Amino acid sequence: DQQVKQNSPSLSVQEGRISILNCDYTNSMFDYFLWYKKYPAEGPTFLISISSIKDKNEDGRFTVFLNKSAKHLSLHIVPSQPGDSAVYFCAPSGTGGTSYGKLTFGQGTILTVHP
Amino acid sequence: DAGITQSPRYKITETGRQVTLMCHQTWSHSYMFWYRQDLGHGLRLIYYSAAADITDKGEVPDGYVVSRSKTENFPLTLESATRSQTSVYFCASTDRNPNQPQHFGDGTRLSIL
């Protein structure tokens, strides 16, 4: 039973356009949501996060939106650049229950940005 | 150099052998984690540690053993390796928990023949 789902295994966009990566979760104990980016042969690196008390967090070209009622979040990258090509993981965590202090990763979405 | 390092980067071994993956961090972070990455599963937590001598199971702990005698080191041991443990293993650390970004090493690719 996967608590975190990234239903798009891959996404291909043109340089300069918007990339939208989606993530759905089922565990209502999640209250903090992180996005990680991963290049081949490297470890994941933290990208951006959002607390459940917010519905939007922005950092430069990256914006994360959270819809708690739908248990859905999305990462927007605009404008997309070829260097953004990587695997993106959604990773919620929680402060209660069995999710306390633990990240639960989605399966990842491979983003390819074409020049 | 400051950071989190894993060794070896690549390892090939045979079923039934014992193998230890090393993780070392120079930040003096309290929390350390071990994950495995498999196709279709993202990263799954194996074990984690809140401080030296404090460890706890994650989602997929069976077949693994950890120890944390020093804050900076968190080795992961496969006592009798099986083919299903072929995977890429990542170590991570953070200074505060929960809800703080974890910093990851570059991984160990382990193949069990």
Question: A57-112, pLDDT tens digit by residue?
Answer: 999 999 999 999 999 999 999 999 999 999 999 999 987 666 677 899 999 999 99
User: Rounded mean pLDDT of chain B?
Assistant: 94
- Average pLDDT on A1-17 reads 94
- Residues 6+ away with beta carbon under 8 Å from B103: A46, B3, B4, B25, B27, B29, B92, B93, B94
CA distance A81 to A61: 10
CATH superfamily, domain B4-112, is Immunoglobulins (2.60.40.10)
Residues of chain B with Cβ-Cβ distance to A42 below 8 Å are 106-107
B42: contact with A, CB 8 A cutoff? yes
- CATH for A4-99+109-114 is 2.60.40.10
Q: Is A46–B103 a contact, with Cβ atoms under 8 angstroms apart?
A: yes
Best residue in B97, B99, B102, B106 to probe A by mutation, most A CBs within 10 Å?
B99
Is A102 within 8 Å of B45 when comparing Cβ atoms? yes
Quick check: helix, strand or coil at residue B1?
A: coil
Residue A95 has a pLDDT of 75
Residue ranges of the domains in chain B? Answer: 4-112
Q: What is the pLDDT of residue B39?
A: 86
pLDDT band at B32 (very low <50, low <70, confident <90, very high): very high
Q: What is the pLDDT of residue A98?
A: 66
How confident is residue B66, by pLDDT bands cut at 50, 70 and 90? very high
**Residue B52 contacts by C-beta under 8 Å, 6 or more apart in sequence?**
B68, B69, B70, B71
Please count the residue pairs, one from chain A and one from chain B, whose beta carbons lie less than 8 angstroms apart: 60
* Domain locations in chain A as residue ranges: 4-99+109-114
- Chain-chain contact of B44 with A51 (C-beta, under 8 angstroms): no
Q: Is B56 on the interface with A (CB under 8 A)?
A: no
